[in-house]
A and B are shown apart, each in its own frame.
Chain A
């Protein structure tokens, strides 16, 4: 368990993917240099498809022209994983945490990020959220609801997780999510009759981060 006594939370609201990445990198440098403490960014992105350096282009299933017509951007990025989609109705968390002070273990960090979502969904919504052995992410029933991909520099993490709350899932038809075949996507909203508020879920995730990483958010 990583002990993080203090962690700043910054809610960026709706922000372009690239802008949020630029900001993350600035913060990563400051955390590496010891100028700021760990920071957790929460935000949403306008429609965008992001690819890791090792992603296969064929995992985008439509042409660039079609994406443009739909108002969906494309960004190559430096996180792990393959291809994913971000868009309105999806909460994104970017934990910029220094793992140097504790156990340097990417496997444990990824499992802890999954646990953040699992506990938030189980404790607050009664959903039987779970992880799949050998894969990274969170599922409810046969549906993947959260995706995770991180980057690490000098043992400081960036990128993070996205959770579909009220996501327009038709945008996932544009890609082969995570490069995996037959991935079924769902949003938290799909499991309930009443609308689920994004802000409610965001606050639940923050509480869960606080519990799992034993940190004090401010």
Chain B
């Protein structure tokens, strides 16, 4: 199971709001797909899928404010594919 984390976005940015999920639980994603849009004060940031597979669970829902490093979702990695290390992807 691969965890999708909110990455470091920059100096003084410690949290962001989940503004839009491009996918729902159970849907298949391809590595690099924009997975979820996070919003800080004046920026939106699309967190890409770190691997190809199916979204098992969405932990942070639209409107939730989450801290950098939090787990946003988990993905069941597609077997047979190459994937980057857990949580990588940005």
Q: Which residues of A contact B (CB under 8 A)?
A: 52-54, 78-81, 104-110, 136, 148-155
Distance between A178 CB and nearest chain B CB, rounded to angstroms: 9
User: Which residues from chain B sit less than 8 Å from chain A, CB to CB?
Assistant: 8-13, 17, 19-20, 32, 34, 37, 39-46, 48, 90
Whole-angstrom CA separation of A106 from B45 in the bound complex: 9
Question: Assuming the A-B contacts A53-B19, A106-B40, are A152 and B45 also in contact, with contact meaning beta carbons closer than 8 angstroms in the complex?
Answer: yes
B43 (CB) vs chain A CBs: closest residue: A80
Q: Give 5 A-B pairs besides A80-B42, A105-B11 with Cβ atoms closer than 8 angstroms.
A: A52-B39, A104-B90, A106-B13, A110-B42, A151-B43
Report A-chain residues with C-beta under 8 Å of the C-beta of B48: 153-154
- The answer to whether A154 touches B43, judged by C-beta atoms less than 8 angstroms apart, is no
A151 vs B9: C-alpha distance when bound (angstroms): 12
Least CB distance from B37 to A in Å reads 6
A-B contact pairs, 19 of them (CB 8 A): A52-B39, A54-B19, A80-B43, A80-B44, A104-B8, A104-B10, A106-B40, A107-B10, A107-B12, A107-B13, A109-B43, A149-B42, A150-B44, A151-B45, A152-B43, A152-B44, A153-B34, A154-B32, A154-B46
